[in-house]
Amino acid sequence: MQNIKVAVDAVVFGYNSKDGLQVLLIKRKVAPFKDSWALPGGLVGDDESLEDAIQRELKEETGVNINYLEQLYSFGKPNRDPRNRVISITYYGLVRPDEFEIKADTDAAEVAWFNSKKLPQLAFDHREILTAAHERLKGKILYQPIGFELLEKKFPFSDLEKLYMAVLDRAIDRRNFKKKVLKYGFLEQTTEKQAHDGAGRPGNLFSFDVDKYYQLQKQGINFEI
C-alpha cells in the first residue's frame, strides 16, 4: 500500500547591493531537526493546490507574501524525512528583503536572512535543494534579464554588475558586460549623476526601459557573460 505525503518548500533569495545574495531561512521549533535552520515549507493540504500551499506556508512561517515563485524540482529520496515518505515540490524566487517585514509563526521559532556564503547547517536535504536553486538561478540570468525588480528605479551601472556577480558567484569582465547589456537596449542612461564618493568623476544613473525589458524576458536572450 502506498503511503506517500506531498510537501512544498521555498528557496527565497534576497538581494540588495549592500548585502549581496541572501537566503530566507526559518528555525524549526518542532521535531525532527528541532532548533535547526531550514527552508520554509510544509505539507500540502488535501484540498489545496501546490501554489496555494507554498504561498500559505511562506505567509505562516515567515510573514512573506510573494506573487510569483518558479517551480524548481521534485525531491523524493525515501529517507529524506525520518517521519514519513515525503516528496517535496520545491519553488524558488528572487526578491528585495527590504520590501518585507519577516515574522516567524506556526512551527517556526525564528526567521532570518542569511548571506548565501555564510549559511548554517540545514535540516533534511535542504542544502541540496538550495544548491539546486542557486544553480538554476545562475543559469537563468544568462538567458533572461534580471534586475528590474531588485534595483532602484535609477541606479549606477555598477549596481547591475554587483547583482550579476553576486548571483553568478564570480567576477565578470566589466567592460564586456557593459557593452553586451547596453546592446540589448533595455537600459536607458539618464542625465542624473550618482552620489559622489570621492573616487573619480561620478557616473550617470541608468533606468530600465520596462516595455523592452519585459519583451526580452519573454523572448529569452543569451548574455554569454
**Among all chains, which residue has been given the C-alpha cell 518585507?**
100
Report whether 112 contacts 151 (CB < 8 A).
no
End-to-end CA distance of the chain: 51
Q: For residue 143, is it within any domain?
A: no
- Looking up cell 505567509 gives 59
Residues 9 and 104 in one domain: yes
The 10s digit of each residue's pLDDT in 24-65 is 999 999 999 999 999 999 999 999 999 999 999 999 999 999
Over residues 4-33, the pLDDT tens digits come to: 999 999 999 999 988 999 999 999 999 999
Do residues 9 and 110 both lie within one domain? yes
Task: Give the predicted TM-score (pTM) of the model.
Answer: 0.91
Q: Phi then psi for 188, rounded to 5 degrees? A: -120, 130
Within a domain: residue 105?
yes
Instruction: Show which of 82, 108, 125 is a domain's final residue.
Output: 125
C-alpha 25/C-alpha 159 separation (Å) is: 25
Same domain, 24 and 90: yes
84 in the same domain as 12: yes
Q: How confident is the model at residue 146 (pLDDT cuts 50, 70, 90)?
A: confident
Q: What is the CATH number of the domain that holds 177?
A: 1.10.10.10
Do β-strands 37-38 and 20-28 pair in parallel, antiparallel, or remain unpaired? antiparallel
| 13 shares its domain with 120 | yes
Catalytic residues: 110
pLDDT in tens, 180-216: 899 989 999 999 988 766 566 778 999 999 888 888 8
Same domain, 118 and 159: no
- Which grid coordinates are listed for 163? 547583482
Closest CA to 9 of 94, 116, 129, 111: 129
* Domain presence at residue 146: no
The boundaries of the domain holding residue 159 are: 155-219
In a domain, 131, yes or no: no
